[in-house]
Amino acid sequence: MELGWIDDAQDHISEAAVANSAVKRIPKGSLLFVVRGMILAHSFPTAITTREVTINQDMKALVLARPDLGEFLLRSCQAARTRILQKVVRSTHGTCRLESKDLEQFPLAIPSLAEQKRIVAKVNQLMALCAELESKLRDAEKGAERLAEGMTAAMVM
């Protein structure tokens, strides 16, 4: 869920397992989020499905009547991460969880569709810029490491 879109998973479920269990199919364009697990100690993973999926009991899905709102809701949840994580409770054995009632009552502002599209476009532009800067920073760090290794090697000689 790190990338924001789910199109495949490590684990898969058979048709027989779906037919013979309480598992429900989650349609394409739904918003997924983790509601139980130690990751909630520091992160609130969210993603949009790009195909039909199933989920386990550690996740919830918001099936959108308007899938065109999906990316805005995804970005809104990502932006509200700190406020959402304040709602996390720990069980006696330490497992983190978000209560459904807390998520259901969590306020999110929903502007007009045109404004949502403008916001998403700007956020995506800024995220691309951040990714580019992170890449340049990694390249600079590698260059500094090579320089330090070269200087160390020159001193030994």
What's the predicted TM-score (pTM) here?
Answer: 0.76
Structure tokens at 154: 């020159």
Query: Comparing C-alpha atoms, which of 99, 49, 57, 104 is closest to residue 74?
Result: 49
Site of tokens 């048709």 = 15
Chain segment 57-110, per-residue pLDDT in tens: 999 999 999 888 899 999 999 999 999 999 999 987 888 999 989 988 888 888
How distant, in Å, are the alpha carbons of 14, 31, 53, 78, 126 from that of 64? 25, 7, 14, 17, 26
Domain 1-108 has what CATH class?
A: alpha beta
14 φ/ψ sector (left φ>0, alpha ψ -120 to 50, else beta): beta
Which residue type sits at 42? H
Q: Is the pLDDT of residue 7 over 80?
A: yes
8 pLDDT tier (thresholds 50, 70, 90): confident
Site of tokens 């394409």 = 28
157 pLDDT tier (thresholds 50, 70, 90): low
Angle at alpha carbon of residue 53, lines to 49 and 58, rounded to 5°? 90
